[in-house]
Structure 1
Amino acid sequence: MSRPILLLCLCLGALLAPGWASARVAQLRAERVTTPVGTLAQVRLRLDWPQGAARGELQLWVGRLDAPDLGYRGRDLHWRCPLERTPADGWRCEGVLQAGGVRPLRLAVALDPAITRAALSQGGARLALARTAAAPDLTTFDLRAVPLAWAQALLAQAWPSGRLKAGTLDGRLRLATPARGPLRVEGPLHLRGAGFENAEASIVGEGLRADLQVNYRSTPAATRASVAGALLGGEFLAGNTYVALPATPVGLEVEARQSAGAGWSLPRLAWRDGDVLAAEGTAALSAAGDLDALDVRVRSDDMAPLRTRYLSGWMGLVGLGDVDLHGAMALEARIAGGRLAGVDAQLQGVDLRDPAQRFVFDGLRGDLRYSAGAPVASALQWDGGQLYGLAFGAARLPFASAAGALRVDGAVDMPMLGGRLGLRDVIIRPPQDGTGADIRFGMRLAGIDFGKVSQALGLPAFQGRLDGDLPHVHYANDRIDFDGGLSLGLFDGRVAFSSLALERPFGTAPSLSADVAMDDLDLLRLTEVLGFGSITGRLDGRIDGLRLVDWTPVAFDARFVTDGDGRRGVPQRISQRAVQDISSVGDASFITSLQGQLIGLFSDFGYRRIGIGCRLENQICTMSGLRSAGNAFTIVEGKGIPRLDVVGFNRAVDWPTLVERLVAAGKGDVAPVVD
Structure 2
Amino acid sequence: MLSLTRRLLLCLGLLVVAAWTAPARADVDLTAKVVAVPGVRLQQVSLHIGDDGKGGLALTLHAAHADVAAMGWRRVGLDLEGVLSRDLQMRWLLDGTIALRGAPGGALGNSDVQLVVDQRANTLQADITQATATASAWIPLDQTTHAQITLKNLPANWLAGLLGTVWSGRPTGGRLDAELALDVHDNGIQSSGEFSLDGVGFDTPTGTLAGQGVDGSGRLGIDTQGGPARLTLDANLRGGELLLGPVYAKLPNHPVQLNLAATGTDGAFSIQRLRVNDADALQLDGSLAFDAKGNLDKLRFERFQARFPAAYDRYGAAWLDTMGLHDVQMSGAVSGNLDLRADGPHGFAFTTDHLDLATADGRLAVDDLNGGLDWSAQADRPATTLGWRALRLYRLPFGPSKAQWHSQGGTLGLTEPLAMSLLGGTVRVAQLDWRPAAAKGKRLETSLAVTNVDMAAFSKAMGWPQFPGTLGGAIPSLRWVDDTVELSGGLSVNVFNGFLDITQLALAQPFGPSPVLAADVSLRQLDLGAITSVFDFGNITGPLHGSIDNLRLVDWQPVAFDAHLLADEGGRISQRAVNNLTAVGGGGIAAGLQGAVLKLFKTFGYKRIGLDCKLAGTVCHMGGLENSGDGYTIVEGSGLPHLQVIGHQHEVDWPTLVSRLKAATEGGGPQVR
TM-score for both structures, normalised by structure 2: 0.89
* Aligned twin of 1:243: 249
Q: Is 1:253 matched up with 2:259?
A: yes
Q: Which amino acid counterpart does residue 272 of structure 1 have in structure 2?
A: N
* Aligned twin of 1:173: 180
Whether the 8 Å contact between 1:24 and 1:49 is mirrored in structure 2 is: no
Displacement of 1:667: 3.4
* Aligned twin of 1:601: 600
Whether the 8 Å contact between 2:664 and 2:670 is mirrored in structure 1 is: no
* Aligned twin of 2:280: 275
Q: Structure 2 CA distance, aligned partners of 1:290 and 1:579?
A: 63
Whether the 8 Å contact between 1:36 and 1:137 is mirrored in structure 2 is: no
Alpha carbons of structure 1 residues 178 and 518: separation in structure 2 relative to 1, 3 Å: closer
Q: Structure 2 CA distance, aligned partners of 1:237 and 1:671?
A: 54
Q: Structure 1 CA distance, aligned partners of 2:37 and 2:99?
A: 21
Q: Is 1:637 matched up with 2:653?
A: no
Alpha carbons of structure 1 residues 517 and 293: separation in structure 2 relative to 1, 3 Å: closer
Alpha carbons of structure 1 residues 189 and 329: separation in structure 2 relative to 1, 3 Å: same
Alpha carbons of structure 1 residues 443 and 178: separation in structure 2 relative to 1, 3 Å: same
Displacement of 1:369: 0.5
Q: Structure 2 CA distance, aligned partners of 1:534 and 1:337?
A: 61
Q: Is 1:430 matched up with 2:436?
A: yes
Alpha carbons of structure 1 residues 391 and 279: separation in structure 2 relative to 1, 3 Å: same
Whether the 8 Å contact between 1:430 and 1:437 is mirrored in structure 2 is: no
Q: Structure 2 CA distance, aligned partners of 1:221 and 1:317?
A: 36
* Aligned twin of 1:116: 124
Q: Structure 2 CA distance, aligned partners of 1:124 and 1:287?
A: 37
Q: What per-residue deviation string (whole Å, max 9, x for no partner) do you get for residues 255-302 of structure 1?
A: 2357x9998775532111122101123566778877666653444452
Whether the 8 Å contact between 2:173 and 2:201 is mirrored in structure 1 is: yes
Whether the 8 Å contact between 2:77 and 2:102 is mirrored in structure 1 is: no
Q: Is 1:624 matched up with 2:623?
A: yes
Q: What per-residue deviation string (whole Å, max 9, x for no partner) do you get for residues 463-493 of structure 1?
A: 1111122222222443222222111111221
SS at match of 1:313: helix
* Aligned twin of 2:235: 229
Alpha carbons of structure 1 residues 555 and 262: separation in structure 2 relative to 1, 3 Å: closer
Q: Which amino acid counterpart does residue 92 of structure 1 have in structure 2?
A: L
Q: What per-residue deviation string (whole Å, max 9, x for no partner) do you get for residues 200-226 of structure 1?
A: 333332222231211223433565432
Alpha carbons of structure 1 residues 91 and 169: separation in structure 2 relative to 1, 3 Å: same
Q: Which amino acid counterpart does residue 158 of structure 1 have in structure 2?
A: V
Alpha carbons of structure 1 residues 140 and 30: separation in structure 2 relative to 1, 3 Å: farther
Alpha carbons of structure 1 residues 470 and 659: separation in structure 2 relative to 1, 3 Å: same
Alpha carbons of structure 1 residues 381 and 85: separation in structure 2 relative to 1, 3 Å: same
Q: Structure 2 CA distance, aligned partners of 1:40 and 1:296?
A: 48
SS at match of 2:195: strand
Q: Structure 2 CA distance, aligned partners of 1:157 and 1:269?
A: 22
Displacement of 1:316: 1.8
2:387 aligned to which of 373, 381, 401: 381
Q: Is 1:390 matched up with 2:396?
A: yes
Q: Structure 1 CA distance, aligned partners of 2:459 and 2:210?
A: 47
* Aligned twin of 1:509: 514
SS at match of 1:7: helix
Matches within 5 A, 1:112-261: 112-113=118-119, 114=121, 115-133=123-141, 136-159=144-167, 161-177=168-184, 183-220=189-226, 223-256=229-262
Q: What per-residue deviation string (whole Å, max 9, x for no partner) do you get for residues 224-269 of structure 1?
A: 43211111222233443322222222111112357x9998775532
Whether the 8 Å contact between 1:583 and 1:672 is mirrored in structure 2 is: no
Q: Structure 1 CA distance, aligned partners of 2:66 and 2:507?
A: 62
Q: Structure 1 CA distance, aligned partners of 2:438 and 2:10?
A: 56
Displacement of 1:29: 6.5
Q: Structure 2 CA distance, aligned partners of 1:216 and 1:574?
A: 86
* Aligned twin of 1:569: none
Displacement of 1:24: 5.0
2:539 aligned to which of 520, 534, 542: 534
Alpha carbons of structure 1 residues 672 and 57: separation in structure 2 relative to 1, 3 Å: closer
Q: Is 1:80 matched up with 2:81?
A: yes
Q: What per-residue deviation string (whole Å, max 9, x for no partner) do you get for residues 488-547 of structure 1?
A: 111221111112122222222222221111011122222222222222211111111212
Q: Structure 1 CA distance, aligned partners of 2:133 and 2:82?
A: 20
TM-score for both structures, normalised by structure 1: 0.89
Q: Structure 1 CA distance, aligned partners of 2:666 and 2:34?
A: 95
* Aligned twin of 1:615: 614
Q: Structure 2 CA distance, aligned partners of 1:178 and 1:632?
A: 91
Displacement of 1:345: 0.9
Alpha carbons of structure 1 residues 472 and 148: separation in structure 2 relative to 1, 3 Å: same
Alpha carbons of structure 1 residues 237 and 285: separation in structure 2 relative to 1, 3 Å: closer
Q: Which amino acid counterpart does residue 519 of structure 1 have in structure 2?
A: R
Whether the 8 Å contact between 1:592 and 1:644 is mirrored in structure 2 is: no
Can you give the 5+ residue segments of structure 1 that lack an aligned partner in the other structure? 567-571
Can you give the 5+ residue segments of structure 2 that lack an aligned partner in the other structure? 104-108
Whether the 8 Å contact between 1:77 and 1:98 is mirrored in structure 2 is: yes
SS at match of 2:240: strand
Displacement of 1:590: 2.5
Deviates more, 1:219-228 or 1:612-621: 219-228
SS at match of 1:624: strand
Matches within 5 A, 1:5-154: 5-16=1-12, 23-24=21-22, 26-27=28-29, 38=40, 45-49=47-51, 53-62=54-63, 65-101=66-102, 103-113=109-119, 114=121, 115-133=123-141, 136-154=144-162
Q: CA-atom RMSD, angstroms?
A: 3.2
Whether the 8 Å contact between 2:352 and 2:372 is mirrored in structure 1 is: yes
Q: Is 1:665 matched up with 2:664?
A: yes
Q: Structure 1 CA distance, aligned partners of 2:565 and 2:476?
A: 29
* Aligned twin of 1:345: 350
1:466 aligned to which of 471, 481, 485: 471
Alpha carbons of structure 1 residues 176 and 269: separation in structure 2 relative to 1, 3 Å: same
Q: Structure 1 CA distance, aligned partners of 2:363 and 2:201?
A: 37
Deviates more, 1:367-376 or 1:203-212: 203-212
Whether the 8 Å contact between 1:7 and 1:72 is mirrored in structure 2 is: no
Whether the 8 Å contact between 1:329 and 1:345 is mirrored in structure 2 is: yes
Whether the 8 Å contact between 1:209 and 1:232 is mirrored in structure 2 is: yes
Alpha carbons of structure 1 residues 58 and 550: separation in structure 2 relative to 1, 3 Å: same
Displacement of 1:198: 2.1
Deviates more, 1:516-525 or 1:113-122: 113-122
Alpha carbons of structure 1 residues 335 and 651: separation in structure 2 relative to 1, 3 Å: closer
Q: Structure 1 CA distance, aligned partners of 2:578 and 2:201?
A: 69
Q: Which amino acid counterpart does residue 99 of structure 2 have in structure 1?
A: Q
Q: Is 1:548 matched up with 2:550?
A: no
Q: Which amino acid counterpart does residue 47 of structure 1 have in structure 2?
A: I
Matches within 5 A, 1:481-496: 481-496=486-501
SS at match of 1:375: coil
Q: Which amino acid counterpart does residue 387 of structure 1 have in structure 2?
A: L
Q: Structure 2 CA distance, aligned partners of 1:183 and 1:84?
A: 32
SS at match of 1:158: coil
Alpha carbons of structure 1 residues 267 and 164: separation in structure 2 relative to 1, 3 Å: closer
Displacement of 1:77: 2.7
Alpha carbons of structure 1 residues 222 and 504: separation in structure 2 relative to 1, 3 Å: closer
Q: Structure 2 CA distance, aligned partners of 1:502 and 1:381?
A: 26
* Aligned twin of 1:646: 645
Displacement of 1:609: 1.1
Sequence identity percentage:
34
